[in-house]
Structures are given as structure tokens and as C-alpha cells.
Structure 1
Amino acid sequence: MKPVDVLGVRVESPTNRPIVLLQERDGERCVPIWIGAAEATAIAYAQQGVEPPRPLTHDLLKNVIEGLGRRLTEVRVVDLRDGVFLAELVFDNGTVISSRPSDAIALALRVGCPVSAAESVIEEAGVTIAPEADEEVEKFKEFLDHVSADDFDTGTEP
């Protein structure tokens, strides 16, 4: 497993579908994962420190984990099968639970645990950022600085 950083979410053109972008910590590859609008909102809220008036699903799960006396220690993106990413939640007692990466990442950001990805996933889905693409990465980071969770609003109640 390789440590990755969650760069953030954005809406990909021309599909207008949100993606979360993971970047290997000690490398040049990024892994884009297409996600749902609700998960994009949850990730953006967590990165911006937004606390909704009522707990969202990921906030509720965080509260349940803490209420049961457990701690989420790591989120792992473990596989890519037929274009579908698979993740795992790893707990302090050794329990491992299968998860969608978008939900796992939203939860990891709330509890402050590390996120990692299997080398095989990074090999298969990773995109190497060429030096000339640095400007695009900077634009993406600037976008993340100015994006609001409301940009991913689906019109459904949180």
C-alpha cells in the first residue's frame, strides 16, 4: 500500500460528473475516481471544515464508530475491477470492512486517518503528471481553494 493525499473534488468536463483525485505522496501519479454528487459534497464539506446543522451520513458513521469505542485507523483503496474501485475501512481492533472509495474517503477526512492505495490500483488507474502539466495541477489546486460544497448540491436534503 502506498500513502496518498486527497487533493479534492471537481466536476469533470464534459460529463459533468464529480471526481475525487488522489495523489501518491512520494510520486507523480494521480488516481481520478468518479464519484456521486452526494459523496462529492461530503468530501468537500470535510475538506472545508463545514459542519452541517444535522449530521450527514458520514458524520453519523463517525459518531457511531466513536460511540462504540472504536477508531478508524486507515482507509485503503485496494482494487480496481471492471472499472470499479474497491476500498476497505481498517479499524483499531483489526476489523476490515469493504466500502466504496468515496464513502471511505469522506469518512477518513472526518476522522483524520491516512488514506492509501494499492500499487496495482495506482499502476492501472494512475496518471503521471508531466512537468508541463504542473500548471494544470496548480489550476486544480486553486479551484479547490475556491470550490464550495454547494457546487455539488444535488437538490436533495442533506
Structure 2
Amino acid sequence: MSLVKLTIKGISYSQTQNGAYALILNEVDGERKLPIVIGAFEAQSIAIALEKEIKPPRPLTHDLFKSFADRFDIIVKQVIIHKLVDGVFFSSIICERDKIEEIIDARTSDAIALAIRFSASIFTYKNILDKAGIYLKGNPTETEHAAEDIDNILSDPETFGMNEESNQSSNTYSKYSLSELNELLEAAVENEDYEKAAKIRDEISRRDD
């Protein structure tokens, strides 16, 4: 299976699930985006890593991991989002020490937070991008929105947790037909509601299985 390189486009606050954020990954040499719903702590950690000038007074968990790895000469070479099951992405961290390569399973949000700190490349397989990627039309205000989203993350950290209400929300789209889901997906993308788009995309993916 061929790998597709991804870059980080930005982070969007969830309007429907309290304390959740959508991490938007860009296909390099392509137009597709890969939205991944993550928790507030991980979103904050990713945002801080992207903002090179922001230094927390004490190291965050991912900063501690980086310091630990540096001390023992462990290098994170790349991150691969290798599996998608029921809307959940699975990732691997490819590490190297003394020219010996190791593969470590990780949550995608943690893997990407570390990839930024190690300047490691992020990849996914083409079949995952074919299944879960969405197209987003260009918008001249996207940069402004991304900056606002990061400000929201840093100024309003919340605890992320799944509850009955959020579980019910994930089942909201089961009553729609496939054509209606595609229309809802297009509308969500147009409105830059990436977290909603990710849920609709997951429902469409379940229908395709």
C-alpha cells in the first residue's frame, strides 16, 4: 500500500461536542483534508508545539517525552496513521536508537503532537485517505480562522470525555440516506464545521463497509 504525506492545516473547535476539537490534516500534493476529532489536552499540546514562540512554564507531557527521548538518543523518524475502524484512527510512531528501528502504537493525537516536536513526517495510507478524506474549497480567510481557533484552544482548555449525549450525537446521522449524508457533508465543509463533517464522513464510511 502506498503512503501519502500529510501536513497540519489547523485545529477547529467543536461546536457540537463540548471540549472536543477537529485536527485538520492536509494531503501533500493533493486537495483532500483528513479531519480527526481530538481532545482538548491534545489540541492544546499540538497548538503550543505549532506556535514555536510559546513556551509553557513547565513541560507538557509531550515535551517531557521529547526531553526523555533526547536524553537517551531516541529519534522519532515518522508517524503513520495506519488504520481506521468505526471512525477511530490508529497510528504508529517509527523510532530509531543506535540504528535500530522500533514501531510503537499510539493514539493519533499523541503521535502527531510528538511528530511536531521531533519535526517528523506524518503519513497515512492511500486507502485510508480515499475512505476518510474530504475536499475543501479554498477560502481567503482560512488563515485568520486557524489563528482564532488556536487562540481559543490556548485560552479555554477543557477536559475531553465521551458521555451519553456525545454518543447519541454520533448516531444522529444513521437516519439519513446516503445521498442526504453527502449533501450534509458538503454543507458542513462549506461552513468549516470540520468536526461535524468528520462524523458525517464516518457514517458514510460505515455504510460503505
* TM-score, L = length of structure 1: 0.88
Choose from 31, 34, 47 the match for 2:34: 31
Q: Deviations over 1:89-139 (max 9, x none)?
A: 00123100001110011111111111111112111110022xxx212xx43
Residue equivalent to 1:103: 110
Letter in 1 for 2:17: T
> 1:116 aligns to what?
123
Correspondence for 1:84 among 84, 88, 98: 88
**Number of positions where the alignment pairs a residue of Structure 1 with one of Structure 2:** 151
2:17 alignment partner in structure 1 = 15
Q: 1:54 to 1:10 in 2, by over 3 A?
A: same
Give the structure with higher Rg (CA): 2
Identical pairs, percent? 31
Unaligned runs of 5+ in 2: 160-209
Task: Note the aligned Cα RMSD (angstroms).
Answer: 1.7
The question of 1:6 aligning with 2:13 is answered no
Unmatched 5+ stretches in structure 1: none
Q: Quote how far apart the aligned CAs of 1:140 are.
A: 3.2
TM superposition score normalised by structure 2:
0.68
Higher helix share: 2
Distance change in 2, residues 1:15/1:154 (3 Å): closer
Aligned residues of 1:79 and 1:120 also touching (Cα < 8 A): no
Shift of 1:151: 3.8
Instruction: Detail structure 1 runs of 4+ shifted over 4 Å in the superposition.
Output: none
Partners of 1:98 and 1:6 in 2: CA distance: 20
